[in-house]
Amino acid sequence: MVIVTVGSAMEKLFPGNTNWNTRGDNYEDIIWLDETIPKPTKDEINVVIEELKLESAYEMLRKERNEKLAACDYLFVNDYPHTSDETKNLWINYRQELRDITISQSPIYNFDENFRRTFITGITWPEAPN
């Protein structure tokens, strides 16, 4: 779980630079200590925050997709007794839809303040065959 904050945006913009600090999670809370580099603008920070949210959303999507693929791996052992070729093909198609989900869908990053957790929405998962 990655909680995207002003601090994580600053870390991405200035890896290894310790000439800043934050007292909260707003742009105004950034304490800029480096006199050789100008403080990034609020717009620059917001662009990076959106990039980090998108990266995190795709990480969560891939994780859940990989779990769904792993849950049906056993169906593709060479000697698994599928009831028919049609059933086997349904599973093949389902697994392909899962593999393609990172290019066919666009996850949306969400953060629940109450439970301090992140999750994604905006995904329509393919249904596993019965």
Amino acid occupying residue 88: K
Is residue 14 scored above 80 in pLDDT?
yes
Q: What is the pTM of this model?
A: 0.89
Mean pLDDT across the chain, nearest whole number? 95
**Residue 1 pLDDT more than 80?**
no
Cβ-based burial of 14 (10 A; exposed 0-12, middle 13-18, buried ≥19): middle
At residue 17, the pLDDT reads 87
CA atoms of 82 and 74, how far apart (whole Å): 11
* Residue from 65, 51, 62, 57 nearest 109 by CA: 57
What proportion of the chain, given as a percentage, has pLDDT over 70? 99
- Please report, for the chain, the start and end positions of each structural domain, with discontinuous segments joined by +: 6-121
pLDDT of amino acid 2: 83
Q: Please tell me the distance from the alpha carbon of residue 14 to that of residue 99, in angstroms, as a whole number.
A: 34
Each residue of 73-101: pLDDT tens digit? Answer: 999 999 999 999 999 999 999 999 999 99
- Where residue 81 falls (left for φ over 0; alpha for ψ -120 to 50; beta otherwise) is beta
